[in-house]
Structure 1
Amino acid sequence: MSTHGIMRITKRFVLVVFALLGLTLGALSWADDNAAALKDKYDALAPQLKSNVFNRPIHLDSEETSNTLKGDIYAVVDYPFATVNRAFNDPQQGPANWCEVLILHLNTKYCRASAGGNGATISMNVGKKTEQELGDTYRVQFNYRSVATNPDYFQVDLSAATGPLSTKDYRIVLEAVDIGKGHTFLHLTYSYGFGTAGRIAMKTYLATIGSAKVGFTKASGDYVGGVRGLVERNTMRYYLAIDAYLASLALPADKRVDQRFATWFDATEQYSRQLHELDRQEYLQMKKNEYQRQQTAQ
């Protein structure tokens, strides 16, 4: 090969290296910016985190538009950043750990993680708040993606294109930042979209068996209801599931599952006006059965 040809190939190689380096530095910069923004949010919410109606260091926001619903919870958890990062942002074990979280929710009937050529997926069946055969439930297929990681920050995204009752564009996003002294600041987002059919289905539910249900935000002197109350309740349920999972890690492995169910139920009962659905024994037995079922791929 001529000297000119070698120089041309070398030049292309150098350009590729710089392009890849630019992408890497850009990703690191984005993660650093998000970490700084989340730390700023922690500082801004400090008074609300210290004193609020939840009697724990959390803050809840929600938003309803003509075709989307979104809930956000910001919270301080008493676990080191490394523990939280390892639990939810581990490329190998993270997806399976998310299933350990998601199965705590009343409406989750089955959850199983699997690896594939396009990354990890989480297959989750959702249904009623009571026991059901899997054939009577709806399967939601989440893609698991670690969006950003640096020494004191991470973001993980679970996304699904479709859901039950003509809903769509599901996202569960968790980001976390180290705030020192063995504490971590979390931001959980739960959101989804819907069309006309989805809105009609949700309104039918809320006009019948869900008519008396409320959320956590007060407006005009009373708690919000309707679809905004719905997304607030489920965002809180998912947050309490994350917290229950983290709390269980201090126990021997064979004690963790039962303790998670008990911890989650007891936590939801602190907000019984919004979250009570079943008595304790009914919930624990249902979840024991569902957890056993999901040990085998369905």
Structure 2
Amino acid sequence: MTPQRYQHSWPGIWQCLAGIVFACGGCNAGAATDTAPASALRGVYTRLAPALAHNAFGQPLVLESAESTKGLTGDIYAVVPYPFAAVSTGMKSAEHWCDVMILHINTKYCHAVAGPQGTRLRVNIGKKTPQAMADATRVEFQYNETRTLQNYFAITLTARQGPLGTSNYRIRLEAVELPDKQSFLHLTYAYGVGFAGRLAMQTYLATLGADKVGFTRLAPGADGQTGYVAGVRGVVERNTMRYYLAIDSFLASQRESPAAQLEHRLQSWFSAVERYPRQLHEVDRPDYLTMKRAEVLRQQTLY
């Protein structure tokens, strides 16, 4: 089946499943001389220029989603007001990825561990409310710098297995330098869904997720009204956006003093998701901040 693509550009386990990751790797890390990846991403920037300039987000951002028989994919393309050196330094660090991932409401823990097979991120996912580590699901991501150039990099995180029949989790962030101390980012978030996973997803969408929507506007129906994409595409769009906003909040926090960075990230991420309450609102700010401060402390003390 040809994937359907849409440009615009779950409380409990299914919400976190929708929100774990970023895209598949396979290239060798280290310095590279092949400039094709940078040129290709600049080509995408040029192609998307009209949509980046005029969209419902009110910022230079394009969101796409796809569903196929193999799984779900979300892509965000965005221009960010950070120099490439700051983006590269900030995101080419497994520890910093944990700083990013813990912002998501369903991430309960993240710790980077170096070993003979490379660096892995031990991530626990769970409810949108405080939860004991023993009750959260552990997913291990392989971290790889898959391509590095002077003005381009790509980072991948992959996990073979996830909870409830999901597999092939992948996150990929690539970035290229732009003029005027800006950078162009492409974030991919994807995972495969087996039979058991699809059954669980259907149950969620028929109950707790029945009123949830994504960001893509649908064509007007017979009544002339437009709506937002829902179902599994809505799921992947919401969580792709949550992780993009976490990356943006992390990068913005790097301008603050080290002592102020954590609080800046937490406040910034919550404010960002609340700009899209129809899609992303889950809890009130005090509840989010109290939970996340405790989870970050646990993350720093429990290995």
* TM-score between both structures, scaled by the size of structure 1: 0.88
Please report how far the alpha carbon of residue 296 of structure 1 lies from its aligned counterpart in structure 2 after TM superposition: 2.1
Runs of 4+, deviation exceeding 3 Å: none
Count of matched residue positions in the alignment of Structure 1 and Structure 2: 270
- Counterparts of 2:60 and 2:291, CA distance in 1: 30
Gaps of 5+ in 2: 1-27, 220-225
After TM superposition, the structure 1 = structure 2 runs for residues 203-218 of structure 1, keeping only pairs within 5 Å, are 203-218=202-217
Please report how far the alpha carbon of residue 51 of structure 1 lies from its aligned counterpart in structure 2 after TM superposition: 1.6
SS of the equivalent of 1:28 reads coil
Please report how far the alpha carbon of residue 181 of structure 1 lies from its aligned counterpart in structure 2 after TM superposition: 1.2
- Counterparts of 2:128 and 2:205, CA distance in 1: 15
Greater C-alpha radius of gyration:
1
The residue aligned with 1:284 is: 289
After TM superposition, the structure 1 = structure 2 runs for residues 180-199 of structure 1, keeping only pairs within 5 Å, are 180-199=179-198
- The structure whose RCO (Cα within 8 Å, separation 6+) is larger is 2
The residue aligned with 1:264 is: 269
- Counterparts of 2:118 and 2:157, CA distance in 1: 12
Selected match of 1:35 from 33, 38, 42 = 38
The residue aligned with 1:59 is: 62
Q: Do the aligned residues in 1 keep the contact of 2:32 with 2:148 (CA within 8 Å)?
A: no
- Counterparts of 1:237 and 1:37, CA distance in 2: 26
The residue aligned with 2:141 is: 142
* TM-score between both structures, scaled by the size of structure 2: 0.87
After TM superposition, the structure 1 = structure 2 runs for residues 104-253 of structure 1, keeping only pairs within 5 Å, are 104-220=103-219, 221-253=226-258
1:90-121 per-residue CA deviation (whole Å, 9 max, x = no partner) reads xxxx0000000000001100001011111110
- Counterparts of 1:167 and 1:226, CA distance in 2: 17
Gaps of 5+ in 1: 1-22
Q: Do the aligned residues in 1 keep the contact of 2:253 with 2:264 (CA within 8 Å)?
A: yes
Selected match of 2:48 from 41, 45, 49 = 45
1:43-83 per-residue CA deviation (whole Å, 9 max, x = no partner) reads 11111111211111110000001231000000001001011
Please report how far the alpha carbon of residue 249 of structure 1 lies from its aligned counterpart in structure 2 after TM superposition: 0.5
Q: Do the aligned residues in 1 keep the contact of 2:32 with 2:149 (CA within 8 Å)?
A: no
SS of the equivalent of 2:131 reads coil
The residue aligned with 1:10 is: none
For 1:153, the aligned partner's letter is Y
For 1:133, the aligned partner's letter is A
Please report how far the alpha carbon of residue 87 of structure 1 lies from its aligned counterpart in structure 2 after TM superposition: 1.0
1:293 lines up with 2:298 in the alignment? yes
Q: Do the aligned residues in 2 keep the contact of 1:165 with 1:202 (CA within 8 Å)?
A: no
For 2:112, the aligned partner's letter is A
